[in-house]
């Protein structure tokens, strides 16, 4: 007979819980989920989902593999991606992820990256030659390409043309940032005699991690070298940081704090508190939706260069489409990826709806990019962005990019605080302090990188 004497040592509730747990475990082991037809795609943008619905409908009409689109918040998408790649949990068949999220996939050995290596497929199909070359950089790690670029995101300077032209100032005289300050400084009047300008020339502050990052790239700076080693205190970075901090410190700063993506910042832009701002292509749509009162009052121009003959653009943001190794069918996922990212129809809609130019160079001749934009005073801004697209700087794919970017911002804040306390002014007066703070930033990044046993770089 079965001896149940041991059960006297446990309460009835404990026994019931144990039996339920055993039954649940057995059910999980024996249950085989039904396989749904079609593919799953996770993405973070409602705007992108709206665009893709038309392609999905066309595919359904043609009898091709159905694609289920699911929009997740970026934190949720990041958690699910990393759980799938590092924890063995299922993911979608296609993942559209933003730059900061994608880099996290490259933390371990190259053979353990959760995305399928697309390098050879891109080469054999010839598709690699259709894409703007710099646009691959955030999705390329250790020489291999793991994602298709969704965009280019070149950056121009958006400025209040109504104010500038009313003052009789000529922006065609501006080639460098020094020219920018010299030509437009007459706008910095102090009509209320409070000792501060009523208007500044540019929106930039030490807390603006994205803007500082964008300008550092334009200046030729970088956080990591080609081998992945942190080079935060490289002399190019030092000089760029000193230059930028000098713009919002010292006795005559011309930049001020006008944040993006906020009602307060939008009001300051509309009031003309600052004249010019960094505007990647996607920002055009945000300005149009959030500040309609600026229609016909603003124009775009290439960024002033840090040095004569230097780069007149930069890059801000970026998104890729990758195929996880756990995808049910690589070939079906690849077919969908090509449909979404190389579609001429979708490229036009991406620009007409969201102001984003495609990285597919064969689409750049379309007349849609030559259409005058009334919001930007009739400029053909699409063509202006496309002309700058080949010049966008390369971006790192390091999983430590966000940490490095934020550490650079912290260095900027420390230098600015020191400059205001000591009265130090001008780039040359800030160089030594910038070296010190960037050396500290490098140590912060190296300390984190040193914990990765799979990373073999000289620190």
- CA–CA distance, 236 with 443 (Å, rounded to integer): 18
Res 12: pLDDT = 57
Residue 31: pLDDT band (50, 70, 90) is: very low
The mean per-residue pLDDT over the stretch 35-52 comes to: 90
Q: Is the pLDDT of residue 28 over 50?
A: no
pLDDT at 437: 98
* Max CA distance (Å), the chain: 104
pLDDT digits (tens, 9 = 90+) for 248-291: 999 999 999 999 999 999 999 999 999 999 999 999 999 999 99
pLDDT at 194: 86
The tokens of 192 are what?
């209320």
- Of the candidates 315, 402, 327, the one whose C-alpha atom is nearest the C-alpha of residue 359 is 315
CA gap 104, 124 in Å, rounded: 28
Confidence at 452, pLDDT banded by 50, 70, 90: confident
pLDDT of residue 35: 47
* CATH for 39-149+317-370, options being 3.40.190.10, 3.20.20.70, 3.40.50.10800, 2.40.40.20: 3.40.190.10
* Rounded percentage of the chain residues whose pLDDT exceeds 70: 91
Residues of the chain with CATH 3.40.190.10: 39-149+317-370, 154-313+393-451
pLDDT above 70 for 210: yes
Predicted confidence band of residue 1 (pLDDT cuts 50, 70, 90): very low
Mean pLDDT of the chain: 92
DSSP lists the bridge partners of residue 300 as: 158
Among residues 100, 393, 396, which one has the least CA distance to residue 229?
Answer: 396
Question: From CA 289, how far away is CA 225, in angstroms rounded?
Answer: 39
**216, 196 in Cβ contact below 8 A?**
no
From first CA to last CA, the distance across the chain in angstroms is: 69
pLDDT at residue number 394: 98
Class of the 154-313+393-451 domain?
alpha beta
Cα separation, 417 vs 328, in Å, equals 54
At 319-377, the pLDDT tens digits run 999 999 999 999 999 999 999 999 999 999 999 999 999 999 999 999 999 999 999 99
Q: Tens digit of pLDDT for each residue in 424-443?
A: 999 999 999 999 999 999 99
What pLDDT, on a 0 to 100 scale, did the predictor assign at position 155? 98
Mean pLDDT confidence for 32-56: 85
The full 3-state SS of the chain, as one line of letters, equals CCCCHHHHHCCHHHHHHHHHHHHHHHHHHHCCCCCCCCEEEEECCHHHHHHHHHHHHHHHHCCCCCEEEEECCHHHHHHHHHHHHHHCCCCCCEEEEEHHHHHHHHCCCHHHCCECCCHHHHHHHCHHHHECHHHHHHHEECCEECCEECCCCEEEEEEEHHHHHHCCCCHHHCCEHHHHHHHHHHHCCCCCCCCCCCCEEEECCCCCHHHHHHHHHHCCCCCECCCCCECCCCHHHHHHHHHHHHHCCCCCCCEECCCCCCHHHHHHHHHCCEEEEEEEHHHHHHHHHHCHHHCCCEEEEECCECCCCCCCCCECCCEEEECECCCCCHHHHHHHHHHHHCCHHHHHHHHHHHCCCCCEHHHCCCHHHHCCEHHHCCECHHHHHHHHHHHCCCCCCCCCHHHHHHHHHHHHHHHHHHHHHHCCCHHHHHHHHHHHHHHHHHHHHHHHHCCCCCCCCCC
pLDDT at position 153: 98
């Amino acid at each position: 007979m079965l001896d149940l004497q041991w059960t006297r040592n446990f309460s009835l509730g404990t026994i019931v819980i144990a039996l339920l747990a055993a039954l649940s475990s057995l059910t999980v082991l024996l249950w085989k989920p039904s396989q749904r037809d079609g593919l799953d795609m996770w993405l973070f943008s409602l705007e992108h989902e709206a665009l893709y619905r038309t392609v999905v409908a066309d595919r359904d009409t043609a009898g091709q593999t159905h694609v289920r689109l699911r929009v997740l918040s970026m934190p949720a998408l990041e958690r699910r991606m990393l759980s799938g790649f590092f924890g063995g949990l299922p993911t979608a068949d296609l993942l559209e992820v933003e730059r900061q999220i994608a880099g996290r996939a490259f933390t371990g050995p190259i053979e353990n990256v959760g995305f399928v290596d697309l390098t050879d497929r891109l080469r054999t199909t010839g598709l690699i030659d259709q894409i703007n070359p710099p646009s691959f950089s955030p999705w390329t790690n250790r020489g291999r390409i793991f994602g298709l670029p969704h965009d280019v995101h070149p950056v121009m300077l958006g400025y209040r043309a109504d104010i500038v032209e009313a003052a009789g100032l000529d922006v065609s005289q501006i080639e460098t940032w020094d020219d920018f300050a010299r030509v437009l400084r007459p706008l910095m009047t102090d009509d209320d005699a409070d000792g501060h300008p009523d208007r500044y020339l540019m929106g930039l502050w030490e807390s603006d991690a994205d803007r500082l990052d964008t300008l550092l790239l334009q200046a030729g700076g970088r956080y990591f070298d080609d081998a992945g080693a942190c080079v935060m205190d490289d002399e190019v970075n030092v000089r760029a940081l000193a230059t930028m901090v000098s713009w919002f410190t010292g006795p005559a700063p011309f930049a001020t704090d006008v944040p993006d993506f906020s009602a307060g910042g939008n009001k300051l832009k509309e009031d003309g508190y600052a004249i010019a701002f960094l505007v990647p292509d996607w920002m055009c749509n945000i300005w149009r939706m959030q500040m309609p009162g600026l229609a016909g009052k603003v124009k775009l121009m290439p960024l002033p260069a840090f040095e004569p003959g230097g780069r007149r653009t930069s890059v801000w943001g970026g998104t890729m489409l990758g195929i996880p190794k756990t995808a049910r069918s690589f070939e079906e996922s690849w077919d969908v990826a090509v449909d979404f990212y190389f579609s001429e129809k979708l490229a036009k809609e991406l620009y007409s709806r969201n102001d984003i130019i495609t990285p597919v160079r064969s689409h750049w001749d379309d007349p849609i990019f030559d259409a005058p934009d009334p919001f930007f005073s009739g400029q053909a801004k699409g063509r202006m962005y496309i002309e700058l697209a080949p010049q966008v700087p390369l971006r790192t794919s390091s999983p430590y990019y966000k940490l490095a970017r934020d550490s650079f911002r912290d260095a900027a804040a420390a230098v600015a605080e020191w400059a205001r306390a000591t009265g130090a002014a001008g780039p040359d007066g800030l160089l030594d302090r910038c070296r010190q703070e960037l050396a500290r930033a490098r140590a912060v990044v190296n300390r984190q990188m040193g914990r990765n046993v799979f990373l073999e770089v000289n620190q």
